[in-house]
Structure 1
Amino acid sequence: MLTILPPLPTFEHAITPENAAIAVRLVVKLSQRRVYLYQGDRLLAKYTLAIGKQGWETPTGIFQVLSKEKNPVFKSFRTGQLIEPGPDNPLGVRWIGIWTDGKTQIGFHGTNQEELLGQAVSHGCLRMRNRDVTAMFDQVSLGTIVSVEP
């Protein structure tokens, strides 16, 4: 059975020359396992990440925030099992989606395994402390530019 997904939103107006100095943006440095939150050229915050493991590497490139969700429900891509919000949910308390192939999504999210931060252990997502992803969630909006660098 084929599932037809709606087209992805476009955000052509996200950064213009007029608002570039005040625009919020994210820069992920995979080698450092950190994400940096900027407003224009001013660094506002930096957070430790867990990144994609070998064979499931986090994609690099320029992306945009496509979706945001508080207390997301996790659906296993392997089994289809749903895990409701709570302490057993591997997505933690927030989801910020930045990439999709129409079937799978990759994004920033909290975690119920904070001891794994700083490691390459995910299936491509960018895991964060729940308090950190909550703070970042409040700073970004749909269309925020996300640069993922090696």
Structure 2
Amino acid sequence: METSGVLRPGEYLWAPEGVAPGKLSIVVDLLRERLYVYRGGVEIGRTLIIYGADHKPTPTGSFPILEKDRDHISNLYNAPMPYMLRLTWGGVAIHGSGEDVDSRYATHGCIGVPDEFAALLFAQARKGDSVLVTRDWMPEVYGAEGVQVASAG
């Protein structure tokens, strides 16, 4: 996969073609406001994210996907959370957040991604797949936009 510039709000890259089937690994980089998807060590997707506001931060650490729910509604905020991938039983999840995902917005601790990307990720992810939530993921690789990463073909 090769990026050809800076991702804008609502944009994503998704290129799983030619990558062997297998367990996904997902990395959320809060500093860069990005989510990266790997299969077999090869990046197959990335997108911009929104994440927890200062008063309700997104926790860092390693989390398995505990539950999947295509049409989830938050029982705390009565808000839709389409394509929800639950990371904690306390309510933190990756989910669709519309198409205007940019730094003007925040969540109550969840990781919001564009709805189209959320649907693609939901279709590939399985319970037990690993999600790492960190800051400044692999700066030597992802420190600049437009960097070429492993080819999916």
Q: TM-score, normalised by structure 1?
A: 0.69
Which of 96, 100, 104 is 2:85 aligned to? 96
Q: CA-to-partner distance for each residue in 1:120-139, whole Å, 9 max, x for gaps?
A: 61110001111010000011
The 5 A counterparts of 1:1-150 are: 22-77=22-77, 82=78, 89-91=79-81, 93-100=82-89, 104-112=90-98, 114-119=99-104, 121-150=106-135
Q: 2:61, 2:132 within 8 Å by CA — same for their partners in 1? A: yes
**Aligned partner of residue 138 in structure 1, secondary structure:** helix
Tell me which amino acid in the other structure corresponds to 1:141.
R
What TM-score does the superposition give when structure 2 sets the normalisation length? 0.68
Render the CA deviation track for 1:33-66: whole Å, top value 9, x for unaligned. 1110001210000011101111211000010000
* Amino acid in the other structure paired with 1:96: L
Q: Which runs of 5+ in 1 are unaligned?
A: 1-20, 83-88
Kindly name which structure, 1 or 2, has the bigger radius of gyration based on alpha carbons. Answer: 1
Question: Of the two structures, which has the highest relative contact order with CA contacts closer than 8 Å and spacing of 6 or more?
Answer: 2
Q: Distance in 1 between matches of 2:73 and 2:93?
A: 14
Change in 2 beyond 3 A, CA 1:119/1:145: farther
Q: Which runs of 4+ in 1 moved over 6 A?
A: none
Query: Taking every aligned residue pair, what percent have the same amino acid on both sides?
Result: 23
Q: Give structure 2 stretches of 5+ with no counterpart.
A: 1-20, 136-153
| Number of aligned residue pairs | 115
